[in-house]
Amino acid sequence: MKREILITSDGSTTIHLPDWNEQYHSKNGSINETYHVFIESGLKQVSLDKVSILEIGFGTGLNAFITYLEAKKPIDYVGVEAYPVTSEEIEKMNFISVLDVKEEDAIFNKMHEVSWEEKHPITNNFSLTKRKQFFEDITDVNAFNLIYFDAFGARVQPQLWTEEIFAKMFTSLKENGILVTYSGKGSVRRAMQAVGFTVERLPGPPGKREMLRAIKKVGSTPQ
């Protein structure tokens, strides 16, 4: 499938798949989307001393990198990706310059250079495990405080936004765990609710009216 590098409205890059008319990050701003959906609505809502995070769709590593930049506590990060982005594409990402964090260039590169299927200490306070895995094959149980659900949209990959997938997400979260996603679709919200999540509709990032945050409340069980 053809892949192109695009500049989004906040000046940061994304990967565009013209056959699907789909992007790895929002055309309305890759970095803006990460901060709004995953940092402000996700990471900053977790009050624990240490946070374990599962990312569904590791992609360019932008969400992991900004989490590293913004976290004020130890992070154990697991990024799942079925089709890893190539090193050539990563070299074309301009996140370091747009974020103006040249001093962190080595950290971003390390995230992409470390091997898959192993846990690596990126820094003393940030560990990264990259798993090459289909989302439907996830079998974690009570393992994570926070999920970044950043799969391609339901328009092009509806099989990733089903009750079956969200049941796996529910099981993988610890009690009071949070799942955040850029999607605000009613069908997605209903699929989350059907498996036991309590779901909030929140103002969306630039270009989207709403996004969703789902919580695994204490005592709730998968339906």
42-62 pLDDT, tens digit per residue, is 999 999 999 999 999 999 999
Instruction: Assess if residue 92 is contained within a domain.
Output: yes
Chain-centre distance for alpha carbon 26: 13
Token pair listed for 184: 């605000």
* CATH assignment of the domain containing 78: 3.40.50.150
pLDDT-based confidence at residue 223 (cuts at 50, 70, 90): low
Q: How confident is the model over 149-166, as pLDDT tens digits?
A: 999 888 889 999 999 999
Q: Could you list the residue range(s) of the whole structural domain that residue 43 is in?
A: 28-215
Instruction: Assess if residue 170 is contained within a domain.
Output: yes
Instruction: Assess if residue 5 is contained within a domain.
Output: no
Q: How confident is the model over 112-147, as pLDDT tens digits?
A: 999 999 999 999 999 999 999 999 999 999 999 999
Instruction: Assess if residue 2 is contained within a domain.
Output: no
Residue 23: predicted pLDDT: 78
Task: Among 9-23, 25-39, 174-188, name the one with the lowest average pLDDT.
Answer: 9-23
pLDDT-based confidence at residue 222 (cuts at 50, 70, 90): low
Distance in angstroms (rounded) separating the CA atoms of residues 1 and 40:
33
Residue 49: predicted pLDDT: 96
Q: How confident is the model over 63-104, as pLDDT tens digits?
A: 999 999 999 899 999 999 999 999 999 999 999 999 999 999
Instruction: Assess if residue 134 is contained within a domain.
Output: yes
pTM for the model stands at 0.96
* Structural domain count of the chain: 1
The string over 144-165, giving b where at least 16 C-beta atoms fall within 10 Å of a residue's C-beta and e elsewhere, is: bbbbbbbbbbbeeeeebbbbeb
Instruction: Assess if residue 177 is contained within a domain.
Output: yes
Q: How confident is the model over 17-44, as pLDDT tens digits?
A: 888 888 788 888 899 999 999 999 999 9
**How many Cα neighbours within 13 Å face the side chain of 40?**
14
Q: Which of 88, 85, 46 is nearest to 62 (CA)?
A: 85
Strands 119-123 and 173-181, by their bridges, are unpaired
Answer yes or no: is pLDDT of 175 > 70: yes
Residue 154: predicted pLDDT: 86
Residue 135: predicted pLDDT: 94
Contact, 206 vs 28, CB < 8 A? Answer: yes
Instruction: Assess if residue 7 is contained within a domain.
Output: no
Instruction: Assess if residue 19 is contained within a domain.
Output: no
Distance in angstroms (rounded) separating the CA atoms of residues 162 and 191:
6
